[in-house]
């Protein structure tokens, strides 16, 4: 199941991203074979709160990139060994750094060079001789835009995670729903085929619940279902999974549990639900809410699917109902 994300966590992360550059230093990595240019660029950018990492030898490019994790790259076009265009191309192909803002600094501003620079995937070009204010605005606005983009990506990711999470939760009881149950069951079935361990399943059904709704009303029925779901949750281990299987039916999956162990869990659930003493005047068995259960367990085999486990538990539940309800059957 997806790890829950609280709205506070989302806001906290957005706030971190929103901090202005001056407060949360931007990092720029400059690659240029000319030490004078490195010095000039550093002096221009530093007063704006930008931390500048200089590299005069492209051979160490990846090493320095990984240790710096910059917000933006400033690449010289003409360098011995790797030139700026080659560097730009390899960065763009990298899965991690592919989106990194890249500005190419060059003395060549003829049409062909410009074309090459943009074809290599650079975001912008800065011509030499460097004009201070122009460099600063281009660098800072690129970084701000890229941070805004990161922030939006983050929001989308969070939204997707929340939707994924909600698709597996029953809105009434706030416990996993049938979709989550089937996913977990399928996954455990495969795993326990490998491990040759027992997988147990308990199906629970509230007794005479139609009568309950008819007498106490549907809203009261909803409250009753919530209480039952909560009680079942409290009776299982974190490695088990309890889900709302249907209307007033719940299912519990117990991986690596013996049938004996599952039986004890069922007994505990039955006892705890009786102890709730939810009044049920129209029950034909007791004057409070009770449940019936079908229990089954087996070592999964590749020839069968988890449906076979559900079918057997369902039959056992049917037997429990026929034996007068408020009981469990194997």
Report in angstroms the alpha-carbon separations of 104 from 31, 111, 129, 260.
10, 15, 13, 70
Is residue 61 a contact residue for Mg ion (CB under 5 A)? no
Question: Taking contact as CB under 5 A, which single stretch among the options 21-29, 167-175, 186-194, 204-212 is the one that binds Mg ion?
Answer: 204-212
H or E, element range at 97: none
Site for ligand GH3 in 246-265 (CB under 6 A): 247-248
CB of 275 to ligand GH3, least distance (A): 20
Cis check: omega of the bond before 10, within 30 degrees of 0:
no
Is residue 205 a contact residue for Mg ion (CB under 5 A)? yes
H or E, element range at 156: helix 132-166
Site for ligand GH3 in 261-320 (CB under 6 A): none
Count CB-CB contacts under 10 A for residue 152: 11
Is residue 325 a contact residue for ligand GH3 (CB under 6 A)? yes
Angle, helices 259-276 vs 218-234, to 10°: value is 140
The one among 286, 308, 321, 330 contacting ligand GH3 by CB under 6 A: 321
What string marks each residue from 208 to 227 as x (binds ligand GH3 by CB under 6 A) or -?
xxxx-x----x--xx--x--
Question: Taking contact as CB under 5 A, which single stretch among the options 45-53, 77-85, 137-145, 267-275 is the one that binds Mg ion?
Answer: 77-85
Site for ligand GH3 in 35-64 (CB under 6 A): none
Site for Mg ion in 18-47 (CB under 5 A): 33
Is residue 76 a contact residue for Mg ion (CB under 5 A)? yes
Classify residue 119 as exposed, middle or buried by CB count within 10 Å of its CB (0-12, 13-18, 19+).
exposed
Site for ligand GH3 in 128-187 (CB under 6 A): 172
Asked if 251 contacts 170 with a C-beta cutoff of 8 angstroms, the reply is: no
In the sheet that holds 249-255, the strands lie side by side as 241-246, 249-255, 199-206, 291-298, 328-329
Question: Taking contact as CB under 5 A, which single stretch among the options 62-70, 160-168, 240-248, 298-306 is the one that binds Mg ion?
Answer: 240-248
Angle, helices 218-234 vs 209-216, to 10°: value is 130
Is residue 244 a contact residue for ligand GH3 (CB under 6 A)? no
CB of 173 to ligand GH3, least distance (A): 9
Six-digit token string for 197: 């361990």
Q: List residues near ligand GH3 by CB under 6 A.
A: 172, 205-211, 213, 218, 221-222, 225, 247-248, 321, 325
Q: List residues near Mg ion by CB under 5 A.
A: 33, 76, 78-79, 205-206, 209, 248
């Amino acid at each position: 199941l997806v790890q829950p994300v609280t709205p506070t966590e989302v806001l906290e992360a957005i706030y971190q991203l929103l901090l202005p550059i001056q407060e949360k230093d931007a990092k720029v990595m400059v690659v240029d074979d000319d030490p004078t240019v490195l010095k000039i660029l550093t002096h221009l950018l530093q007063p704006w709160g930008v931390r500048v990492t200089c590299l005069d030898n492209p051979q160490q490019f990846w090493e320095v990139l990984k240790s710096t994790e910059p917000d933006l790259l400033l690449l010289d076009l003409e360098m011995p060994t790797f030139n700026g265009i080659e560097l730009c191309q390899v960065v763009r192909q990298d899965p991690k750094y592919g989106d990194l803002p890249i500005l190419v600094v060059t003395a060549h501003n003829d049409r062909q060079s410009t074309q090459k620079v943009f074809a290599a995937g650079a975001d912008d070009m800065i011509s030499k001789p460097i004009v201070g204010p122009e460099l600063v605005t281009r660098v800072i606005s690129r970084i701000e835009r890229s941070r805004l983009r990161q922030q939006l990506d983050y929001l989308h990711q969070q939204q997707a995670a929340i939707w994924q999470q909600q698709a597996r939760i029953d809105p009434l009881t706030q416990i996993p729903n049938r979709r989550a149950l089937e996913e977990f069951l399928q996954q455990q079935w495969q795993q326990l085929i490998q491990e040759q361990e027992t997988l147990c399943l308990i199906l629970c059904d509230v007794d005479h619940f139609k009568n309950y709704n008819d007498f106490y009303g549907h809203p009261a029925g909803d409250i009753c279902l919530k209480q039952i779901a909560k009680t079942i949750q409290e009776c299982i281990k974190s490695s088990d999974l309890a889900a709302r299987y249907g209307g007033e039916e719940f299912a519990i999956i117990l991986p690596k549990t013996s049938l004996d162990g599952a039986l004890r869990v069922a007994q505990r659930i039955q006892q705890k639900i009786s102890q709730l003493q939810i009044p049920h005047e129209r029950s034909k068995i007791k004057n409070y809410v009770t449940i019936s259960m079908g229990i089954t367990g087996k070592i999964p085999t590749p020839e069968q699917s988890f449906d076979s486990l559900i079918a057997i538990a369902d039959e056992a539940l049917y037997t429990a109902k026929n034996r007068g309800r408020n009981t469990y059957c194997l």
